[in-house]
């Protein structure tokens, strides 16, 4: 399998297959990150599309000494943060936004968290914990939220997260530690409710 850098070299000369490969490799992680940041499926689609369009239109400016994943996540994160700064959003619930009025709006703001490959009992247990985690993540500050998502959901190393977010390494570690502390507290509170 070609590395990201090799695919990008083909994309720079305009090969459509290279564009498609880059989109195929990164559409799922980028969309998932953006969706968890902005909490609206339709909006996440638009921001994901915007991210890929920016990346592919500026593919000439990509510097191969940096990881391609860092670059695309950086652009995706900036798009999400820009949007969050411009608007205040509804809180997310498993049953959709309280302000959603149509079936489509409810579906767009409902978080689907179950994995259909699990056994029914496991599915119930994991769904319950996963649902608490998802709701707890949404209550984190955006800067904590994107750090914890990049570290523990996307599995990016600390150094790459620092590159993506343009933050010092120490700040990234601090944000992740604080995010984990808050998640532990939020989980304990929701269990007591």
Rg of the chain, C-alpha, whole Å: 18
Nearer to other proteins (CB atom), residue 100 or residue 149:
149
Give CA–CA dist 81/133, Å, rounded: 21
CA 104 vs. chain centroid, Å, equals 22
Q: Is 134 in the site for other proteins (CB under 8 A)?
A: yes
Closest CA to 39 of 119, 100, 125: 100
The neighbour count for residue 8, using CB atoms within 10 Å, is: 21
In the beta sheet, which residues pair with residue 93?
Answer: 110
Q: By CB under 8 A, what part of segment 54-93 binds other proteins?
A: 54-59, 61, 63, 66, 71, 75
- Name the minimum Å distance from CB 100 to other proteins: 18
- Name the minimum Å distance from CB 128 to other proteins: 11
Residues that bind other proteins (CB under 8 A): 13-17, 19-20, 23-24, 27-29, 31-32, 35, 44-45, 48-49, 52-59, 61, 63, 66, 71, 75, 112-115, 126, 129-130, 133-134, 148, 152-153, 155, 173-174, 177, 180, 183-184, 187
């Amino acid at each position: 399998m070609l590395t990201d850098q090799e695919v990008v070299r083909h994309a720079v000369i305009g090969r459509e297959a290279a564009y498609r490969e880059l989109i195929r490799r990164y559409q799922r992680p980028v969309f998932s990150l953006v969706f968890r940041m902005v909490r609206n499926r339709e909006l996440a689609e638009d921001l994901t599309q915007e991210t890929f369009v920016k990346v592919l239109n500026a593919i000439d400016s990509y510097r191969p000494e940096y990881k391609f994943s860092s670059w695309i996540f950086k652009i995706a994160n900036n798009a999400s943060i820009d949007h969050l700064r411009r608007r205040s959003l509804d809180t997310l619930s498993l049953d959709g936004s309280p302000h959603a009025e149509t079936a489509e709006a409810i579906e767009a703001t409902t978080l689907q968290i179950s994995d259909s490959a699990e056994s029914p009992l496991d599915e119930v247990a994991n769904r319950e914990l996963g649902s608490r985690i998802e709701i707890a993540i949404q209550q984190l500050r955006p800067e904590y939220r994107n750090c914890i998502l990049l570290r523990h959901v996307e599995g990016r190393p600390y150094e790459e997260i620092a590159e993506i977010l343009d933050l010092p390494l120490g700040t990234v570690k601090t944000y992740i530690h604080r995010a984990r502390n808050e998640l532990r507290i939020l989980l304990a509170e929701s269990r007591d409710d």
